């Protein structure tokens, strides 16, 4: 899910910021079902990844990892910047975060059990 640069209010509650450290959570590595891994592990519709990346780049923002989203993540897991996106793109929001606050790398959530 893309975020807008400078979006402080984050009405949907998907903050990747850690108020205790004043830094931004970022996955230390891609999650097992990262949308940037080969093989379309999330079964995205044709063109969906391209559209998501295009929208996020146009907004100069970032993508929150789907495996850290409420309702998909195990209890206690907080939203974090998608490592697959971070490793491929340098947007204004990511540059500002890096310069002003920095990142805390967090491990991806454990693989969901069937």
Each residue of 27-61: pLDDT tens digit? 999 999 999 999 888 888 899 999 999 999 999 99
Three-class secondary structure of residue 67 per DSSP: helix
Backbone torsions φ then ψ of 18, nearest 5 degrees:
-105, 110
Are 8 and 17 a contacting pair, CB within 8 Å? no
User: What residues does 26 pair with on adjacent strands?
Assistant: 81, 105
Lowest mean pLDDT among 10-19, 22-31, 42-51, 92-101: 10-19
- pLDDT classification of 5: cutoffs 50, 70, 90: very low
114 confidence band (pLDDT: 50, 70, 90): low
Both tokens assigned to 16: 């990747």
What is the CB-side half-sphere exposure of residue 59 using CA atoms within 13 A?
16
The runs of H, that is alpha helices, within the chain are 48-58, 83-88, 92-100
Report the predicted TM-score, pTM, of the whole model to 2 decimal places.
0.85
Q: What are phi and psi of 62, to 5 degrees?
A: -155, 170
């Amino acid at each position: 899910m893309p975020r807008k640069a400078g979006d402080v209010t984050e009405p949907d509650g998907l903050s990747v910021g850690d108020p205790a450290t004043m830094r931004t959570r970022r996955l230390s590595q891609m999650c097992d079902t990262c949308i940037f891994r080969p093989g379309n592990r999330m079964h995205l519709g044709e063109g969906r990844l391209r559209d998501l990346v295009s929208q996020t780049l146009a907004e100069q923002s970032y993508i929150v990892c789907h495996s850290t989203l409420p309702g998909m993540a195990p209890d206690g897991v907080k939203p974090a910047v998608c490592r697959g996106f971070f490793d491929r793109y340098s947007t204004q929001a990511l540059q500002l975060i890096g310069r002003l606050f920095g990142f805390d790398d967090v491990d991806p959530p454990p693989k969901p059990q069937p």
